[in-house]
Amino acid sequence: MILLALLLQAATPGANETVTVTAPPKPFAQTPATMVVEPVAMMIATLDADGDGKTSREEMEAGVKRSFDAIDTAHAGSLGYLQFADWAERWLGDRNALPSPFDVDKDNDNRITLLELQAHFSRLFSRFDRDRDGAISRAEALTIRTTAVDANGPTGPLRPKGERPRDRK
């Protein structure tokens, strides 16, 4: 017991000693290259019906129809924007996930038909199918972002001397 008290007394700084405490360095907000999966890309990947690791256009169209029919329980043939938010929450993971109903509703009638949803997914399919082989692989569903992002949004690269590029006039 006495030994412990002596050790504690020796480890305690004296009255006129200054103790400096430094915080750990602030980590980077994000690494320069990050892999991201958009909610629609994740949904498309889950529509791989035959389990071959790729989603064909036919598998995607059938899956989009199943997802639409699961929300259109009244069999009205269209979804209002609130029903579309229910669809997005169930199939994309969040009511506010993209695509926005305003992007999908091409005729601006405040209703989204199966044809409008499939047409939007067809455009997405063309965007994700980078090698144009008619199927989206898991690798194609990934988006690689090379611009760092912090709480204020994307940040530009720094110049070698640490200066940001200036606007040219």
pLDDT digits (tens, 9 = 90+) for 84-127: 999 999 999 999 999 999 999 999 999 999 999 999 999 999 99
Is the bond into 99 cis (omega within 30 degrees of 0)?
A: yes
Mean pLDDT, the chain, integer: 86
CATH topology of domain 40-150: Recoverin; domain 1 (1.10.238)
Q: How confident is the model at residue 47 (pLDDT cuts 50, 70, 90)?
A: very high
Q: Burial, 91: exposed, middle or buried (Cβ in 10 Å; 0-12, 13-18, 19+)?
A: buried
Average pLDDT over residues 137-163: 70
Q: Return the structure tokens found at 33.
A: 């290259």
Domain boundaries, the chain: 40-150
